[in-house]
Amino acid sequence: MATRNAAHAIPVSPRSLYLAAVSTSDLDFNVDLTLSTEASAMAAQAAISPSDSDALWWRNAVIYQVYIRSFADGDGDGTGDLAGVRARLPYLRELGVDAIWFTPWYASPLADGGYDVSDYRQIHPAFGDLDDAEALITEALALGIRTIIDVVPNHVSSEHPWFQAALAAAPGSPERKRFWFHPGTGPGGDEMPNHWISNFQGDTWTRTTQPDGTPGEWYLHLFTPEQPDLNWEHPDVRREHEDILRFWFDRGVAGIRIDSAALLVKDSALPEVPENPRPGEHPNTDRNELHDIYRSWRRLADSYPGSRVLVGEIWLPDTQRFAMYLRQNELHTAFNFDFMARRWDAGALRESIDATLAAHAPVHAPATWVLSNHDVTRPVTRYGREDSSFAFATKRFGTPTDLALGTRRARAAALLTAALPGTLYIYQGDELGLPEVETLPREVLQDPMYFRSNGVDPGRDGCRVPLPWSGSASPFGFSESSAVAPWLPQPASWAALTVEAQERDPSSMLWLYRNALRIRAALPDIADSELAWLESRSGVLAFSRGDEFVNVTNLSGEHVPLPPHAAILLSSSPLEDGWLPPDSTAWLRTQR
Ligand code: GLC
């Protein structure tokens, strides 16, 4: 990556030459940010209905994650559903997203929010049915929005017919071979087969009970006991998943988000986890055999017209091992959690950006930029904390938070990530600046992470509270009738954060996102050009993308001057005498 020099100077004439109506003056986020006709036309052009010929759409797409239970309730039962999403598609179009990723929408007992699937070919009745899903895919596409669905291949629900059949069958039976059933060790088989630790804390084995009431074999579950792990050495498992992919590709989905993508394959000897496993030798994570599975998924995806993409949920600290999944004949992209987990610190973020781009370059895969998702603490809350990094292990009730500071930084982070090369993910509600809800009464919490930590870890319900759309009291337009209680209660303070309230306020988070996405869609440099770091003061992340665009993010704690520019396109907080305040990002146009 090249480094370019740029002198710092107070801008002489920052009156916008570009996107004239983005700014009516020096760009101050209090001004009306409505786009000019010219810019709107460009943005509309960028969002025309997708066609099969747009084969590279996924390389710089903006992908919006819908956590379906909490997006919008169309049928008035307090739970979000497909009808709710269909009714809000114009909102997503207006926001400027290219695709929606739906968290699992299948039949499920919801022991883990739908990541416990009992039938991959049926929609959960609370969310709608297959006809609704097909209509949604078609309607979204007509608005230029593709659909990505979540496939959960590591495990199924304990209610899945395969697991029910396995429980009913005898030890050693073909039904049990699709899972990891195993006799216990120790006297009477009372000890579990090994001591792997669950991703949700606690044990990974549960003992079955035989028809005569005596204890039987154990079965493996890397998550909850309601999520038994599949045995990926079994041909039925591979066949079934390829069939599930076909089922949904046939219905027009443009991509698959692969849940827990690095966990599927296990060492069948089930050894304990060694202290420092060598790459590829961990008994249940990142095993070499996974690549063969994804190569065959890629062949399947490539056999469909248009680009059907595979996106891996891959949490691996080793960036080289991570990048191996992104080789040309494997997955298209994978979530970049390293950046998301970093603290709000220029050095830490720059290191992550550099490491990410360096890891992706050799495999020619685009990076992804993710500020949050349905599993992690919302950015507005996280960045308002003394420790602004993210780790599952450190989540605690009652962590002090400065939400004003967090919001300011989340605004800056939103522009920073939208300016980086690659795919951008936005988790529903981040565009509204929703904080983590940390005041949920304990009796409404549902997340197994809370229960399995014996109430020490608050779990993930706080980032899954139903969205506020309008009005001044719960359910804030989430359900039409105010008599309906949403499945998780919304804080009264969300009256100020509804879509309706934010649409009226040009300085809102919603308008910041809308304007950022419009500019991103209209500027070819943001899509294609390499990132080049500019010389800057310590604590400042300044880089160009092409000849015309510069991003400056100030994490230094002091106001900083901006590099020379022709116009200010957008800024996450108002400039002061042309200087960029702390915890802010400005987007500059450097040339006509
Ligand atoms: C993934 C999902 C998470 C789920 C887990 C088990 O990490 O994002 O929500 O609990 O897999 O399926």
Band of the pLDDT at 25, cuts 50, 70, 90? very low
For residue 150, the CA-to-ligand 1 centroid distance in Å is: 10
User: How far is residue 288 from each of residues 199, 240, 284, 384, measured CA to CA in Å?
Assistant: 20, 21, 11, 40
Q: Give the residue carrying structure tokens 């039938």.
A: 119
For residue 259, the CA-to-ligand 1 centroid distance in Å is: 6
Judged on CB neighbours under 10 Å (0-12, 13-18, 19+), 235 is exposed
Instruction: Tell me the sheet residues that pair with 553.
Output: 541, 585
Statement: residue 33 has pLDDT above 60: no
Contact indicator for 176, 169 with CB cutoff of 8 Å: yes
Amino acid present at 385: R
Handedness of CA 74, 78, 97, 494 (dihedral sign): positive
Q: Which of 66, 223, 427 to mutate to test the pocket of ligand 1 (most atoms within 8 A of CB)?
A: 223
Whole-angstrom distance, CA of residue 64 vs CA of residue 51: 19
Q: Which residues contact 423 (CB under 8 A, 6 or more apart)?
A: 58, 59, 60, 61, 62, 63, 333, 366, 367, 368, 369
Q: Which atom of ligand 1 is nearest to the CA of 374?
A: 9
Average pLDDT, the chain: 91
Q: Give the residue carrying structure tokens 């891959």.
A: 314
Q: Which residue minimizes the CA distance to atom 6 of ligand 1?
A: 115
Q: Which of 260, 376, 450, 461 to mutate to test the pocket of ligand 1 (most atoms within 8 A of CB)?
A: 260
Q: Which residue minimizes the CA distance to atom 2 of ligand 1?
A: 259
Among 456, 522, 565, 432, which residue's Cα sits nearest to residue 71? 432
Whole-angstrom distance, CA of residue 92 vs CA of residue 487: 23
Statement: residue 229 has pLDDT above 90: yes
For residue 530, the CA-to-ligand 1 centroid distance in Å is: 33
Q: Which residue minimizes the CA distance to atom 3 of ligand 1?
A: 375
Report the half-sphere exposure of 477 (CA within 13 A, side-chain side).
Answer: 15
Task: Report the pLDDT value the prediction gives residue 34, as an integer from 0 to 100.
Answer: 34
Task: Report the pLDDT value the prediction gives residue 339, as an integer from 0 to 100.
Answer: 98
Q: Which tokens in the block code for residue 472? A: 């001044």
Amino acid present at 163: F
Task: Report the pLDDT value the prediction gives residue 51, as an integer from 0 to 100.
Answer: 65
pLDDT in tens, 353-367: 999 999 999 999 999
CB atoms within 10 A of CB 172: 11
HEC sequence for 279-302: CCCCCCCCCCCHHHHHHHHHHHHH
Statement: residue 168 has pLDDT above 80: yes
Q: Give the residue carrying structure tokens 């602004």.
A: 388
Contact indicator for 306, 252 with CB cutoff of 8 Å: no
Whole-angstrom distance, CA of residue 438 vs CA of residue 51: 43
User: How many percent of the chain have pLDDT more than 90?
Assistant: 89
Contact indicator for 426, 370 with CB cutoff of 8 Å: no
Band of the pLDDT at 500, cuts 50, 70, 90? very high
| Phi and psi at residue 254, to the nearest 5° | -95, -5
Task: Report the pLDDT value the prediction gives residue 11, as an integer from 0 to 100.
Answer: 26
User: How many percent of the chain have pLDDT more than 70?
Assistant: 91
Mean per-residue pLDDT, 206-221: 97
Task: Report the pLDDT value the prediction gives residue 3, as an integer from 0 to 100.
Answer: 28
Mean per-residue pLDDT, 111-125: 98
Whole-angstrom distance, CA of residue 222 vs CA of residue 315: 14
Task: Report the pLDDT value the prediction gives residue 5, as an integer from 0 to 100.
Answer: 28
Whole-angstrom distance, CA of residue 303 vs CA of residue 322: 25
Across 52-61, 120-129, 206-215, 391-400, least confident range: 52-61
Q: Which residues contact 385 (CB under 8 A, 6 or more apart)?
A: 399, 400, 401, 402, 406
For residue 186, the CA-to-ligand 1 centroid distance in Å is: 32
Mean per-residue pLDDT, 567-572: 97
User: What secondary structure letter does DSSP report for 444?
Assistant: G
For residue 226, the CA-to-ligand 1 centroid distance in Å is: 13
Q: Which residue minimizes the CA distance to atom 4 of ligand 1?
A: 115
Band of the pLDDT at 52, cuts 50, 70, 90? low
Instruction: Tell me the sheet residues that pair with 229.
Output: 155
pTM: 0.92
Preceding omega of 448 cis (within 30 degrees of 0)? no
Counting DSSP H helices and E strands in the chain, the numbers are 16, 19
For residue 260, the CA-to-ligand 1 centroid distance in Å is: 7
| Phi and psi at residue 347, to the nearest 5° | -65, -45
pLDDT in tens, 251-267: 999 999 999 999 999 99
Band of the pLDDT at 49, cuts 50, 70, 90? low
Statement: residue 2 has pLDDT above 70: no
HEC sequence for 337-399: HHHHHCCCCHHHHHHHHHHHHHHHHHHCCCCEEECCCCCCCCHHHHCCCCCCCCCHHHCCCCC
Q: Which residues line ligand 1 (CB under 6 A)?
A: 112, 115, 152, 223, 259-260, 313, 374-375
Mean per-residue pLDDT, 3-32: 28
Statement: residue 493 has pLDDT above 60: yes
- More confident position, 12 or 414: 414
For residue 374, the CA-to-ligand 1 centroid distance in Å is: 9
Task: Report the pLDDT value the prediction gives residue 528, as an integer from 0 to 100.
Answer: 81
Query: How many angstroms separate the most distant Cα atoms in the chain?
Result: 85
Contact indicator for 494, 468 with CB cutoff of 8 Å: yes
For residue 32, the CA-to-ligand 1 centroid distance in Å is: 40
The DSSP code sequence of 144-205 is: T-EEEEEE--SB--TTSHHHHHHHHSPTT-GGGGGBTEE--BSGGG-B-S--PBPTTSSBSE
Domains of the chain (ranges; CATH) run 161-220 (3.90.400.10)
Statement: residue 15 has pLDDT above 70: no
pLDDT in tens, 474-486: 999 999 999 999 9
User: H/E element holding 521?
Assistant: helix 509-522
Whole-angstrom distance, CA of residue 235 vs CA of residue 242: 11
Band of the pLDDT at 547, cuts 50, 70, 90? very high
Helix axes 509-522, 37-46, angle to 10 degrees: 70
Q: Which residue minimizes the CA distance to atom 7 of ligand 1?
A: 260
